[in-house]
Structure 1
Amino acid sequence: MTLRREAFLEHVRERGEYDSLPEAERAARVVLALLGAHLVGEVRAELAARLPEDFALILLNPLQSREPLPPERFLRATVAWIEGATEQTAAWDVSAILSTVADAAGDNLLGQILLQLPAGYDLLFGRPQPA
């Protein structure tokens, strides 16, 4: 089931405690562009199918990454792309967006997503996995 754009942004706005939907959207665009660079094949396509269309397109046309970034470097990359961000605000942004993505993905797809990512992303998605 695809989340409607407004519902997706409203979830992100609430979780990230953003003042406005455009602020939530800016952060979502950056985080999804970075995430898209880390996912491949069916997993990326299936996740895109569960996101609102404009966010799906961002996921499918990501920023390029030579290698999957460990979670801490993913956060630093987010800082670099969001104007005025700090590591603390970027962690907040990433958490708000990826937890919303995790809800849209559902447990099975999220499990497949986490298999494509370096260890530690489960925490960024707000779904700590047993060790």
Structure 2
Amino acid sequence: GGDCSASTNNQGSEATCSDGIPIPDGEVTVMCLDTASLVNIETTPSTVSQGDQFVVSNSGGSLPNKIICTIRSGATVHQTTVIDVSAEVSLQIGDVFGALRIESLSCVDNDDDDDDDDCV
């Protein structure tokens, strides 16, 4: 897992990353929240090792506009990252946010128009 200096994305000031204690080898826990309501967003699995993939989902619905994901082991926070998933700013496969890399995206179109402007 990389530190925040490894970030490469086009979200500008919409995305933030802050490092804590360096990420260790072995398992860590990833927890994501809605930045507005601080409601937990499901991460499956929530315990991962470097190179593992996990899915961030909201029970089949759209994700909130921004999520904040924390990588920790026990009470130790290793990294906190805010990602804009609103589709208002660029989010692409391969984007890197510190230790997190976007590997795939899926769309939930919740309105009646025919465009995909609100899909990430």
TM over 0.5: no
More helix by share: 1
With normalisation by structure 1, the TM-score equals 0.30
More strand by share: 2
